[in-house]
Every structure is written in C-alpha cells, then in structure tokens.
Amino acid sequence: MKNKTSLPPQEGEARPSRCPDNSAFKQQKLPAWKPQLTIESVLSSFFLVGGFCLSVGVCLILSAKSVREIQIDYSDKCSDCSKLRESSSNWNKECHCSVNFMLKEDILGDVFMYYGLQNFYQNHRRYVISRSDGQLLGRNVNIQKSYCAPFTTYRNGTPMAPCGAIANSMFNDTIDLFYNINSSVIQVPLLKTGNSWWTDKNVKFRNPKSYNLSSAFAGTARPPYWQKPIYLLDEEDERNNGYVNDDFIIWMRVSAFATFRNLYRRVRRIRQFADGLPAGNYTFRISYNFPVTKFKGRKHVILSTVVWSGGSNPFLGIAYVVTGTAATLTGFVITAIHLKLRKKKTYFQK
C-alpha cells in the first residue's frame, strides 16, 4: 500500500494560519508593571532589610541567653551500669545509679527535662525509613512488605510491634528527680504526657481497635531490645500506652544531627514547685538501660526553661545577624560605587 501524502493547497484555497489568536493574552498585550530600579530604591531596600534582620537577630540572641539551663553528663558517673549493659545477655538485669547536683539559683517558670544523646546517628537513610506508618496507624498491614527489615518478625514468624530499627533502638532509661531539703528527700512531680506534638498524637499514631490493648496486640511480640511490650510502656496511665505513648512518639521523630535532645518530662508546678525549681541540692536517680559505649556515645540530662523564641539555641539569632550584616555591608558597597561613578561622570561632563 502506498503512503498517503498531503497534497499542496490548490490555487485559490486559503492556507491555515499558524498565528496565535488575536487576544490580549496571546498577543502579549496584557497590562504589566516593570519596576524602575533607581539608586534610591535599591539602597533603601538593602538598608531596610539589613536593619530589620539585625534588630530581630539581636532580640533572638538576647532571648536565648535568658534561658536558664543545666546539663549533666551521666555517662561516666554510671560507668558500672554502662559496663553491665555492654553484654546483651544482661538485658533483663536492673541497674541504678544516682547523680547529685546543686542549683545555686531558683529556676522559675515552666521547667522541661530533656535527655540528650551524643554521637548517635539517626540520619542514616536505612535507619530513617525503617518503620511502618501503616502499622503505627493501627492498621492490619503486612510488615514484610515494609522497610522494617531485619526487625520485622522473629524466627518463629511472630511479627514485631512496633517494627523497624527506629522503634527497636528507642531510648529507655528511666530518670527521676529528687529534691533534698532538711535531711528529707522529696520526689519532684513530673508530667509524662502532653509532651509530643498534637499532630503526632492525634493524626500520625493510632492504636489498633479492640476492647483492650493486650488483645489488640495479641499475636505480636516486643522488639528485641525492649524490656516491655508496647501495651505496657506506661503501667500507671492506660491512655499513654501502645503507639500513642508520648515517649515512643517523641523518639520516632528522628533527628538530623548526631548530637540531639528529646523532651522527656515537664515539672508539674504544685506544692514546693509551684513557681519552678527552688535552689538547693537535687539528685537524678537513673535506671540505666540504654547502652552507648559501643558507638562511643554520651548521655545527658538537661533541665531548661523556654522563652517566646524557644530554647537556648542561638542559631536562628546568629543567622539573622549574619544576614543583616551582609545586607548592610552590601548597601555601603553599592553606595561607594555609586558615588565614585557619579564623580567620574561629573568630571568628564566638565
């Protein structure tokens, strides 16, 4: 069969037009505004941006410096427990240690307790994706098809709940704070709920639907490094168990850096601690469960207040100051160049 070819238009036939429609949009006749950059507008923009960033940066730095914070490294002070945890065969043995410290001044306002880890890399790609979001939403999913491997099932086929490397490595030290006054010891009341993000607690994490949690997680087993099943993380508050446990939710939000801190508790402002933590002698009593020796890590406990700009991290304020300084210096450089060129132009005109 011969190929059909288009025939040229016969004489007298109109050729199809390839021109765009005669509309304002296609003919580029829409009204437009083109800024006329003058030296006055450019310099004023640089100096305004520089002044704004400098003022905001100084305010942020001063605000960060007003945060009261005390940080205690208990890696060496709990060395005996650390040696015990080096062997995985001692996973079921309890080990406790105490760390004494003194507050020279009152810490007024809301006081937050953090645990800090150093040299613990949570930003490895395989670690970050090692979770099952469907499982954390309480759905009946096949975790074998997730990225949880090798923390998916045991050899006998029992699935892990929760699965994945992030959940398996969850921080599980127990830290209590005691106030020593007049030869008596008072335990500081701490709040273990209300510490996670609202979106995490109410949107991203859900427990399986059942008349109780133990039956909801029937047929599953805890991760290898855990001491308790997921439905017994908080034996004092049934609402703080399972996938909606605050400590678990906070741990599942991985950090971008090797040194980080996570919110652990908040001081409950009642009785002697209604205004915060009074000055005096305190003791951290720690149930040591989280080993850090093998990866040369360190562990800290941090007591800190917060201000309108957040915690004691001055990074944002420094970034604003650097940006403001760069914009201001650029404005002065442009001013100098403009004056130099204007002087040459005046000279040649004469």
> Looking at the chain, how many residues does it have?
350
Count of beta carbons in the 10 Å neighbourhood of residue 68? 19
Q: What is the SS3 assignment for 152? A: coil
Q: Are 189 and 176 in contact (CB under 8 A)?
A: no
Each residue of 88-142: pLDDT tens digit?
777 778 899 999 999 999 999 999 999 999 999 999 999 999 999 999 999 988 8
Confidence of residue 9 (pLDDT cuts 50, 70, 90): low
User: Residue type at 50?
Assistant: G
Please check whether residue 19 is in contact with residue 27, taking contact to mean a CB–CB distance below 8 angstroms.
Answer: no
Helix (H, G, I), strand (E, B) or coil at 167: helix
CA distance 160 to 166: 13
Asked if residues 230 and 217 have their Cβ atoms less than 8 Å apart, the reply is yes
DSSP state of 23: S
Which pLDDT score is estimated for 251?
Answer: 96
Tell me the C-alpha distance between 142 and 315, whole Å: 43
Please tell me the least confidently modeled range out of 3-17, 199-213, 327-341: 3-17
Q: For the beta carbon of residue 50, count every other beta carbon within 10 angstroms.
A: 20
Both tokens assigned to 22: 């005669």
Q: What is the pTM of this model?
A: 0.81
Give the model's pLDDT for residue 43.
92
Pairwise CA distance, residues 120 & 112, whole Å: 22
What is the C-alpha to C-alpha distance for residues 274 and 126, in angstroms, rounded to an integer?
Answer: 45
Quick: pLDDT tens for 150-201.
Answer: 999 999 989 999 999 999 999 999 999 999 988 889 999 999 999 999 999 9
